[in-house]
Amino acid sequence: MASDAFTGPVASGPAAVGDVLTLDVGAPVHGGHCLARHEGRVVFVRHALPGERVRAVLTEARRKGYWRADAIEVLTASPDRVDSVWPAAGPGGVGGGELAHVSLPGQLAWKRDVITDALRRIGRLGDDHPALAGLSVERAPGDVERGGLRTRSRIELVADGEGRAGMHRYRSHEVLALTDMPLAAEPIAAADLFGRTWRPGATVEAVAPSDGEVLLLVDGEPLRGGRRNVRERVRLADGREFAYRVAGGGFWQVHVEAPRTLVTAVLEAAAVGPGAAVWDLYSGAGLFTVPLADEVGPEGRVDSVEGDTRALADARRNVHGLDQAVLHGGDVAAVLAERNGRNGAAGAAPGAGAGRGPAPHADVVVLDPPRAGAGAAVMDAVLAAGPDRIVYVACDPAALARDVAHARERGHELVSLRAFDLFPHTHHVECVAVLAPTKRG
Ligand SMILES: C[S@@+](CC[C@H](N)C(=O)[O-])C[C@H]1O[C@@H](n2cnc3c(N)ncnc32)[C@H](O)[C@@H]1O
């Protein structure tokens, strides 16, 4: 690994940014770092692997608390180390490719360890908890063939002062010009984003939908007055296909295989049949709402809650003709709190009047919150709906673990857990967890 950029002295006494330490690297932790210690102090090291001995340059060295460092030279390499598939995201480089030096199997093991650690430490699951036994992170179809590259249907770039497309240096506002973004899907790679000159400082978003051409947004506006929305299609193994309209800059699962993978996993976990009552919280443009509405049929009901008005407008269009799908706009916690206020005490009886909010009882609750997780108030409202199962889609293992701990203290158990590597070469991982009541009163 090149270390020319960092020539700081070996640290002795008080340390400063730029000092170089020799570190024995321990377990991976949340956020794409590994844990190391220097004279008792915790150092979060990037670009290293568990079991390695590295020379690492300090990138943050507060007098109190933990330090941060980038590995710049490997003294003892892990068997999982490979030549980085994206050197521009290496030490001192852009963020967003922090596992590019880890083999694909090594990335799965890394993510499994982070999830397991979070659920043990924060979720307070025992070492022998069945949901953790044998947990393996599943790969999206085609990722081995692609080497984990060219997987993203959405990327965001920033133009530097000379109008060259690039990305921010990790934990910095500085823009580093790039010549490629190897995680971007092929149609985006073919759009020649790096051969053009943009307005200095502009944000350039590229979207490669599953149905249609690449859409480019500059500072949120379509290039040359083009369209603002894209069409997405999700085809399941059983032949069913669902079509969606999604705002160009709006939320959509980013790995080209993620929508199908997650819909399949959610439907399997939810296991709802005709006539069921389902909540779909943080429902976005309706990725899960539409297939769930298909599963419950006209006799059932899917109540979806989403806070983003643009996503809600897309969802309205996407559930057109599915009268069993009922959309509620607003903050999930507020919508559910209002529902509880209206319907009386938490745990209102099944079959009570639906009113304006979600139906009081849900057989199944699906929730897919942002990184911060659902939080105590939302989890309480979910539990109060009396579901047989809760299908929790999580992009942050620590937040999932917090919400699992909360549910477990209130008589629910984590009954199954799957994890999917839908962000190869980064630390991100998606979980689908199922919680169920331990016993019915
Ligand atoms: C991880 S995305 C999931 C969307 C959808 N399930 C999907 O997979 O396409 C989370 C969604 O929650 C919405 N959201 C975030 N915080 C929210 C809140 N407090 N209340 C309501 N919606 C929220 C976001 O707008 C986003 O659409």
Phi/psi of residue 302, nearest 5 degrees: -120, 115
The Å distance, Cα 371 to ligand 1 centre, comes to 10
Say what the pLDDT of residue 146 is: 95
Indicate which atom in ligand 1 lies nearest the CA of residue 369.
10
Coil, helix or strand at residue 388: coil
349, burial (CB in 10 Å: exposed 0-12, middle 13-18, buried 19+): exposed
Indicate which atom in ligand 1 lies nearest the CA of residue 311.
27
Q: Is the dihedral of CA 426, 288, 368, 117 positive or negative?
A: negative
pLDDT level of residue 346 (50, 70, 90 thresholds) = very low
Global pTM reads 0.93
Q: Where are the beta strands (DSSP E) in 284-324?
A: 301-306
The Å distance, Cα 282 to ligand 1 centre, comes to 4
Residue partners of 402: CB distance under 8 A and separation at least 6: 122, 123, 373
CA end-to-end span of the chain: 60
Cβ atoms 258, 422 nearer than 8 A? yes
Q: Which of 36, 311, 395, 404 is catalytic?
A: 395
**Which residue puts its alpha carbon closest to atom 23 of ligand 1?**
307
Dist. CA 125–CA 193, nearest whole Å: 46
For residue 190, what are its two tokens?
Answer: 């073919």
**Which residue puts its alpha carbon closest to atom 26 of ligand 1?**
284
The Å distance, Cα 54 to ligand 1 centre, comes to 40
Who has greater pLDDT, 349 or 79?
79
Dist. CA 40–CA 62, nearest whole Å: 14
What is the architecture, at CATH level 2, of domain 114-143+255-437? 3-Layer(aba) Sandwich (3.40)
Tell me: the pLDDT tens digits for 95-125? 999 999 999 999 999 999 999 999 999 999 9
Q: What CA–CA distances, in Å, run from 56 to 44, 48, 83, 105, 185?
A: 10, 9, 18, 24, 33
Mean pLDDT of the chain: 93
Best of 255, 261, 282, 303 for a ligand 1 pocket test (most atoms within 8 Å of beta carbon) = 282
Dist. CA 309–CA 313, nearest whole Å: 6
Please report, rounded to a whole number, the percentage of residues in the chain having pLDDT higher than 70. 93
Dist. CA 431–CA 128, nearest whole Å: 19
Residue partners of 343: CB distance under 8 A and separation at least 6: 352, 353, 355, 357, 360
Coil, helix or strand at residue 75: strand
Beta bridge partners of residue 28, listed in sequence order = 34
* Catalytic status, residue 431: no
CATH 3.40.50.150 positions along the chain are 114-143+255-437
CATH 2.40.50.140 positions along the chain are 1-81
The Å distance, Cα 312 to ligand 1 centre, comes to 10
Indicate which atom in ligand 1 lies nearest the CA of residue 288.
6
Tell the CATH superfamily of the 1-81 domain: Nucleic acid-binding proteins (2.40.50.140)
pLDDT at 5 over 80: no
Beta bridge partners of residue 139, listed in sequence order = 421
Tell me: the pLDDT tens digits for 48-65? 999 999 999 999 998 889
Residue partners of 345: CB distance under 8 A and separation at least 6: none
Cβ atoms 166, 160 nearer than 8 A? yes
DSSP 88: G
User: Between the CA atoms of 393, 396, 399 and 402, what dihedral angle is there, to the nearest 10 degrees?
Assistant: 80
Say what the pLDDT of residue 440 is: 58
Indicate which atom in ligand 1 lies nearest the CA of residue 308.
25
Mean pLDDT, range 161-183, rounded to an integer: 97
Beta bridge partners of residue 26, listed in sequence order = none
pLDDT at 166 over 50: yes
pLDDT level of residue 76 (50, 70, 90 thresholds) = very high
Q: Where are the beta strands (DSSP E) in 14-66?
A: 20-24, 28-29, 33-38, 41-46, 53-61
For residue 20, what are its two tokens?
Answer: 């170089």
Dist. CA 363–CA 17, nearest whole Å: 54
**Which residue puts its alpha carbon closest to atom 13 of ligand 1?**
282
Dist. CA 230–CA 249, nearest whole Å: 10
Q: Which long-range contacts (CB under 8 A, 24 or more apart) does 339-343 make?
A: 339/381, 340/381, 340/384
**Which residue puts its alpha carbon closest to atom 6 of ligand 1?**
283
Dist. CA 155–CA 88, nearest whole Å: 16
Tell me: the pLDDT tens digits for 268-297? 999 999 999 999 999 999 999 999 999 999
Helix (H), strand (E) at residue 325: strand 325-329
For residue 120, what are its two tokens?
Answer: 């043990």
Please report, rounded to a whole number, the percentage of residues in the chain having pLDDT higher than 90. 89
pLDDT at 338 over 90: no
Tell me: the pLDDT tens digits for 358-401? 999 999 999 999 999 999 999 999 999 999 999 999 999 999 99
Who has greater pLDDT, 431 or 227?
431
Residue partners of 334: CB distance under 8 A and separation at least 6: none
Of 5-14, 162-171, 274-283, least confident by mean pLDDT is 5-14
Say what the pLDDT of residue 13 is: 57
Mean pLDDT, range 183-200, rounded to an integer: 97
Kindly report the number of other CB atoms within 10 A of residue 220's CB atom.
Answer: 10
pLDDT level of residue 325 (50, 70, 90 thresholds) = very high
Indicate which atom in ligand 1 lies nearest the CA of residue 332.
20
Q: Residues near ligand 1 with C-beta < 6 Å? A: 251-253, 282-284, 287-288, 305-308, 311, 331-332, 368, 370, 395
The Å distance, Cα 284 to ligand 1 centre, comes to 5
DSSP 359: -
Indicate which atom in ligand 1 lies nearest the CA of residue 366.
6
Beta bridge partners of residue 437, listed in sequence order = 412
The Å distance, Cα 221 to ligand 1 centre, comes to 22
The Å distance, Cα 212 to ligand 1 centre, comes to 24
Phi/psi of residue 388, nearest 5 degrees: -70, -30
Best of 244, 257, 306 for a ligand 1 pocket test (most atoms within 8 Å of beta carbon) = 306
Say what the pLDDT of residue 12 is: 47
Dist. CA 344–CA 186, nearest whole Å: 53
Tell me: the pLDDT tens digits for 141-151? 999 999 999 99
